[in-house]
Structure 1
Amino acid sequence: MTTVLPAAARSKLESRMRQVFGLVLGLSHLEVVANYFQQEAVFLPIAASFFYLITLSVLSVIVTALIGKFNNTALVAHAAATLFTLAVLPQLIQPAGSLADSFHHAWVWWAVGPAGFCIAVLGKNFLTASFLPVLSVAWVVTELQIQWSGAPLLYGIQDGLYVFLFAGAVAGLLSLTRDWSDRVDSANQQLAASSIAMARTEAMELEDQRLDALIHDSVLHTMLFAASAQSKSEQLASAKLAGETVAKLETAKAGSPKTSLVTRRALFLALEKLALQSYPGLTLNVEQGDLERVPLEVAQAITEATLQALDNAKNHSGAEHVALDLEGLEGAGIQARVVDDGIGFKLNRIPRDRIGIQVSILGRMATVGGHAEIDTAPGAGTAVVIRWEK
């Protein structure tokens, strides 16, 4: 299943652009209002209906832009109202009326350009390419029919080109802006898809690491114990251990059991006992612990990671002294610290097939939301800090 983010950049751009255009349209309409009332005596009374129709459509564009609904309908309505008024304008002039030289343009002229912008704001390239030539030609024809003083043909063509080119330029600019916002959204979509894919891959890797740790910590130990069993009692014990390991694998296959809780005191006591069994000469610094509870799976992870760190110190460090510190952190957090004075090593030189550190310590803690830090250098010993914070 593909996860798709909302087109946030495009959506925000459209909302802001329409709101700004609505306010600009309202301000520009003041010019229409002023010229209409100056020229009112030249036109028949019915012209007022067309004026108020255009005014109402302007108000609808502003309101719908602010509320974010039905704005496309309002934009089309305003453009259509302007075009219709333009078409019937010559029939709205008084029989004996004429436009004075001081007027130069009929009042509807100041609504023609914004009408073209309305279609541009819609973002429908085909509609824009169709409407702008019609609007421009309609204005040229209207100017020729009105016949005010001057050179109507020249003025008409000039004004028609002005409407077409200016509105076309605005439409092109809006198209480029929309294309930019689409690119931003596309980049965000790709980033989100990449993040989701990485998260899924990481989840699968963590599950693989958990199973690898289980095999390394349980199955491998069982096999070694079985291989070294000599007496009948040891063989029976290895068979029992093998059965328990198989049961553990079945549990892992079926899914994690319901989470239960253990106290920090119980965890520290158990870990102290296991640590001394694993490393008899170990120096221990263990808090008494308290009754703060931690999830069982966290306790198991801390135990396995700590025992693995002790095993590494015992078998690979050549250390004379190894110490284990156990302490509770704020809340129900836990920190285990294994320190040795051995030969140390270069952390970035650990082979990938050495799962003792990569999987059983670092990976194991990561599966329960904890983490481990390893501080080491050749000749400087090693300190492994295992931490889980609630």
Structure 2
Amino acid sequence: MTVDAATDAGSGAARRPPSPGTVPSVVDGAGMLDPSRSVRASITQASLERAFTILMAIAAVGFGAANTTSFFRQLPFLDPFWGPATASVVALSLLAVGASAALQRCAQAAQAACALLFLVALVTFPLTVRDALPPAQSPWPWWLCNVGTIAASLSFASWRAAVYNVIVPVVFVLLRLSPAGGSAGIVRAFQDGAYTATLGIAALVLIVVLRRAAAAVDAAQATAVRRYARAMREHATEVERVQVDAIVHDSVLTTLLSAARADTVEARTLAARMARNAVDHLAAAAADGPGRDPLVPFPAFRQRIVDSLTTLAAPVEVRSCPAEGPAMPSSAADALASATLQAAVNSVQHAGSDVTRWVTVESDGPTVRVELADDGVGFDPGTVPSERLGVRRSILERMAAAGGVADVVTAPGAGTRVVLSWPDPGPVTDVRIDVDAVGGGPA
């Protein structure tokens, strides 16, 4: 059978997509708006380091290619073996920095190697010169000085990078004053050194400032998310307490009003019955503690799953749902039903259009297994930010708190499957993913 789309019960109007230019708000399993799932920080440490890596890769490859003509012009003045060998080692380090744009985990090592190898090449340059360079020609490492200083600023600690940014200009000034560097004279040598030092120190300051700003943003966002999660839990507890208090208050107040207006025998009998019910209600509320968890029959649980899916804005096919199964504690039934609904909501929101969705419910002895799946766009779990709370709170943590387990299986273009099992069958040795989104993207 198929569960068809339903209209909004509160307004009677069909659900509509958000208007252009607005930020959509996502509703979590409890029906409350979750701003942490629709707001993303504009700058983070990860995004900043990624941008630095790409810019460094472009600079390394670009300046290395631009320096090729200078090297070949000076090749007649260099040692036939050590000159090309030194240049080849530096070129390989530049290519490694360029390749690190595709391998973020190798970026820091490649940048550090590039900075160190360049410094070695700069210091040993006089040993690779066979004949003195003409004064009009700058040694070929000159064009890579700031590539080395920026690579050091990105890969070294701040104080080490500062020392590096002082050493490179000083070494180059001494090199330019020597015959191997062209004997350019004091004015020209100090101009070149000042140029290198200015750009290197400016880049170092900019990198340090941006990194500290990104770290502050990450810390502030993490603190906000923790406070939001704690506030949501406290709010849910307060809402539940208020609801229970309201029910009890209404029962007692209605009983008292009925008793005050009881002028006939039938009215008195009704007031007495209402009073007994109110007393029983109060006693049940007082005795309902953490250890009290009544059993829910499987047919009632089954009907709750089917009924909850009728509230969605898209059809969900019920492919398998047995009529009989084990009874389960109400906390487990609530967790399974709420997690299933949350998975279906995220599938409707993110899996795409013209998507087939289905749910299956299975029981094997005391174990109940619910699977909500779609053939939508899927997503890459590695792109989901660690600060996302949607599935982690509404599905994974909810099932874990009830003694069950949730497993999310997805890949780009391969759809999404959310498998819920209660009770937890035991330690899982193959943990697939830990994500904050289902049905085609981060919720």
Q: Please, what TM-score do these two structures have when normalized by structure 1?
A: 0.57
Greater shift, 8-17 or 52-61, is seen at 8-17
1:105 CA displacement? 0.5
Matches within 5 A, 1:107-118: 107-118=140-151
Q: 1:239 & 1:150 partners in 2: Cα distance?
A: 107
From 237, 243, 247, the equivalent of 1:204 is 237
Return the letter of the residue paired with 1:212: D
Q: 2:234 & 2:138 partners in 1: Cα distance?
A: 68
| Bigger Rg, structure 1 or 2 | 1
1:68 CA displacement? 0.8
1:194 CA displacement? 4.1
From 71, 74, 84, the equivalent of 1:48 is 84
* 1:39 aligned residue: 74
Query: Retained in 1: the 8 A contact 2:126–2:180?
Result: no
- 1:17-60 deviation line (CA, Å, top 9, x unaligned): 21122112211111322211111111112221111110010011
Matches within 5 A, 1:347-358: none
Structure 1 residues 133 and 225: alpha-carbon distance in aligned structure 2, compared to 1, 3 A threshold: same
Query: Retained in 1: the 8 A contact 2:165–2:197?
Result: yes
Q: 2:96 & 2:158 partners in 1: Cα distance?
A: 23
From 176, 179, 185, the equivalent of 1:143 is 176
Greater shift, 18-27 or 194-203, is seen at 194-203
Return the letter of the residue paired with 2:212: D
Structure 1 residues 98 and 262: alpha-carbon distance in aligned structure 2, compared to 1, 3 A threshold: closer
* 2:58 aligned residue: 23
Return the letter of the residue paired with 1:22: A
**Does 2:282 correspond to 1:249?**
no
* 2:186 aligned residue: 153
From 196, 199, 203, the equivalent of 1:166 is 199
Matches within 5 A, 1:1-390: 9-44=44-79, 45-94=81-130, 97-102=131-136, 104-122=137-155, 124-147=157-180, 151-221=184-254, 237=273, 240-241=276-277, 244-250=280-286, 252-254=288-290, 257=294, 260=300
1:262 CA displacement? 12
Query: Retained in 2: the 8 A contact 1:229–1:238?
Result: no
Structure 1 residues 243 and 212: alpha-carbon distance in aligned structure 2, compared to 1, 3 A threshold: closer
1:149 CA displacement? 5.3
Q: 2:104 & 2:302 partners in 1: Cα distance?
A: 55
Query: Retained in 2: the 8 A contact 1:143–1:156?
Result: yes
Question: Where do 5+ consecutive residues of structure 2 fail to align?
Answer: 1-35, 304-329, 331-443
Q: Please, what TM-score do these two structures have when normalized by structure 2?
A: 0.51
Q: 1:46 & 1:151 partners in 2: Cα distance?
A: 23
Structure 1 residues 18 and 262: alpha-carbon distance in aligned structure 2, compared to 1, 3 A threshold: closer
Q: 2:156 & 2:213 partners in 1: Cα distance?
A: 14
1:117 CA displacement? 1.1
Structure 1 residues 157 and 261: alpha-carbon distance in aligned structure 2, compared to 1, 3 A threshold: closer
Structure 1 residues 204 and 56: alpha-carbon distance in aligned structure 2, compared to 1, 3 A threshold: same
1:67 CA displacement? 1.6
Return the letter of the residue paired with 1:189: A
* 2:21 aligned residue: none
Q: 2:220 & 2:49 partners in 1: Cα distance?
A: 18
1:75 CA displacement? 0.7
1:129 CA displacement? 1.2
Structure 1 residues 160 and 101: alpha-carbon distance in aligned structure 2, compared to 1, 3 A threshold: closer
1:187 CA displacement? 4.2
RMSD of the alignment, in Å? 3.6
Structure 1 residues 187 and 204: alpha-carbon distance in aligned structure 2, compared to 1, 3 A threshold: same
Structure 1 residues 40 and 211: alpha-carbon distance in aligned structure 2, compared to 1, 3 A threshold: same
- 1:261-288 deviation line (CA, Å, top 9, x unaligned): 799xxxxxxxxxxxxxxxxxxxxxxxxx
Higher relative contact order (Cα pairs below 8 Å, separated by 6+ residues): 2
Return the letter of the residue paired with 2:204: A
Query: Retained in 2: the 8 A contact 1:222–1:241?
Result: no
Return the letter of the residue paired with 1:34: T
Structure 1 residues 6 and 67: alpha-carbon distance in aligned structure 2, compared to 1, 3 A threshold: farther
Query: Retained in 1: the 8 A contact 2:176–2:183?
Result: no
1:168 CA displacement? 0.5
Q: 1:235 & 1:31 partners in 2: Cα distance?
A: 96
The aligned length equals 259
Determine what percentage of the aligned residue pairs are the same residue.
Answer: 21
Q: 2:223 & 2:124 partners in 1: Cα distance?
A: 52
Q: 2:153 & 2:229 partners in 1: Cα distance?
A: 37
- 1:281-338 deviation line (CA, Å, top 9, x unaligned): xxxxxxxxxxxxxxxx9xxxxxxxxxxxxxxxxxxxxxxxxxxxxxxxxxxxxxxxxx
Query: Where is the helix percentage greater, Structure 1 or Structure 2?
Result: 1
